[in-house]
Amino acid sequence: MSTNNFIFIGDSLTFGYGVPKNKSWIETFKNYSLSHDLDFSIINKGINGNTTTDMLNRFTEDVTMLSPKAIFIMGGTNDLLSNRSLVQITENIELMLKEAFTKTSNIFIGIPPRIIKEDAYRLFMPSPTYDYCEISLPKLREELIKLCNNYKVKYIDFYNMSLTLNSKEIFIDGIHFNEKGHKLIFNEFIKVLNL
């Protein structure tokens, strides 16, 4: 088994829901790493619908047991859509962080992007929790930045990506990104990546 595994754990935004696999941002990063001679085996452990509790429950098997050299963690949107608290999300991510540090200090936290609740309701599925999610995402961003600063790990601020501020052109349904959105995510990720 490679000792240079770069493992990505998360939900549908990490999995690449809504676009062909070869157009997802992590597949784009795989191609980037090959063309730039980055010595990584990139493993995508994103699962559609996962909450941070789901991720925490599988973290040992899906991440730490795979000898990671670098780890990317992003979650929280599904928690908010399930009416879970910011405290619970932050605590789950902190527990994953602590376990990640037993293997590597190359850890990156993704801050979940904003949603367009009207489009999500119309194009994804009706839900009474979109308001709570929309209000809570910027608060989650603040808590995750504090957490990253406390642990001195890098974060990628997908919430504040300039094109998501007023653009509907990068979403397929107000929550998940289209190909243009995945390119945007990849570009934000590469800005922070420095291995």
Using CA atoms, how far residue 88 sits from 65, 74, 75, 82, in Å, is: 24, 14, 12, 12
Q: Dig out the tokens for 78 from the structure.
A: 């599904």
Taking the C-alpha atoms of residue 116 and residue 33, their distance in angstroms, rounded to an integer, is 32
**Which one, of 47, 54, 49, 37, lies nearest residue 7 by Cα?**
47
HSE, side-chain direction, 13 A CA sphere, residue 154: 17
Taking the C-alpha atoms of residue 56 and residue 110, their distance in angstroms, rounded to an integer, is 15
Judged by average pLDDT, the poorest of 57-61, 97-101, 157-161 is 157-161
Query: Phi first, then psi: what are they for 37, rounded to 5°?
Result: 55, 35
Structural domains of the chain, with CATH:
5-192 (3.40.50.1110)
Polymer length of the chain: 195
Q: Dig out the tokens for 111 from the structure.
A: 């801050």
pLDDT digits (tens, 9 = 90+) for 17-43: 999 999 999 999 999 999 988 888 999
**Which one, of 182, 190, 192, lies nearest residue 36 by Cα?**
190
pLDDT digits (tens, 9 = 90+) for 108-145: 999 999 999 999 999 988 899 999 999 999 999 999 99
Q: Dig out the tokens for 114 from the structure.
A: 């904003």
Taking the C-alpha atoms of residue 96 and residue 113, their distance in angstroms, rounded to an integer, is 20
Q: Dig out the tokens for 179 from the structure.
A: 């190909």
Which SS3 state, helix, strand or coil, does residue 105 take? coil
Query: In the prediction, which pLDDT does 37 show?
Result: 87
pTM (2 d.p.) = 0.95
How many beta carbons lie within 10 A of that of residue 3, not counting itself? 10
- For residues 14 and 52, the answer to whether their CB atoms sit within 8 Å is no
